[in-house]
Amino acid sequence: MPISPAARAEAAALQLIYSLPRVVRRLIAGRPIRLDGQELALDAQLLLRLQELSRIRMAGGDPVSARTRLARSQHAASGRRIEPVNVRELTINDDLPATLYTPGGLARGSGLLVFFHGGGWVIGSRESHDNAARYFAQRAGVRVLSVEYRLAPENPFPAAADDAVAAFDYAYAKAHDLGADPDRIAIGGDSAGGNLAAVTAQVVSRRGGPAPAFQLLLYPAVDVTVRRRSRDLFGDGFFLTDKDMTWYLNHYAPAGVDRTDARLSPLLAEDFSGLPPAYIATAGFDPLRDEGELYADKLREAGVPVTLSRQSDLIHSYVNLFGVGMRFREAMAEAAGALRMGLSGPF
């Protein structure tokens, strides 16, 4: 999708602000924010201040309008399009759109990441996470299959979870056609996408047969049944709000849905043994922080190799913010490094 002149101007203005001397950026952002033994990164605080001034909110209101708001603003903080990356559009099982990203010069038989975008199961798209997919492809040296799973409320739970499982099955069955090694397939995503990746790992591992080699779970939503301390601490003013979370969930899992279902709340699964090794990243100033870290604990207790990395000074959604601010880029570089290591074998 072409980037509009207004979006280009917004991105340029954001780059200009982030290029200002640190003392000026601190003046704009305000006094340092310290909470729960953590100090918010200046890069994150500045972005929150600019969001406050612009009064832009992704969630809320009509879902179609929310998607439009995201489409208008999605390129501002994700940076210039990463090249060289070959892009191929394809369809999974005749009805599920996806994009295959292949970095320039990558040999056949590479690792592959099946990637699910964030957005609360209601907003977000392959387009909103285009540069994130390109980044993981280039920096981790893998192919990335980014999946356009069905969104709620038009397609409530378990539609997105079913699509995620179907996408992994397709990736495994068609690995050679995609240029990938079937034994080096990872699944991953951020936020709601992290939820779908965790759910997929559980579903396919429990049924026997092919399973992912690795999980890349970035600030995942893994339990929608319990309100934890981090939601109370960071539920207002840190990008993802308590109100946003309620709005998303009510669209994806409306009245009548069993929210204890492990396909929605994978933290509530009865058995975590035998799941793929995982890298789990949480953000310190994120309402989802505590549940993501509890999920890492569950995997570790079951003997699953897991690396938990709390980005203590960051906010939710940093996967889409690495185009501005070095701190966001550092967190993304760590995740890409974990993916590269996770698919390096031997298997």
Catalytic residue list: 191, 286, 316
Q: If phi over 0 gives left and psi between -120 and 50 gives alpha, with beta otherwise, what is residue 191? A: left
Helix residue ranges per DSSP H, 76-158: 130-140
CA 112 from centre of chain: 16
d(CA 27, CA 40): 15
Q: Are 54 and 47 in contact (CB under 8 A)?
A: no
Compute φ and ψ for 257, nearest 5 degrees: -85, 135
H/E stretch holding 302: none
Write b or e for each residue in 281-310: b if 16 or more Cβ atoms lie within 10 A of its Cβ, otherwise e: bbbbbbbbbbbbbebbebbbeeebebebeb
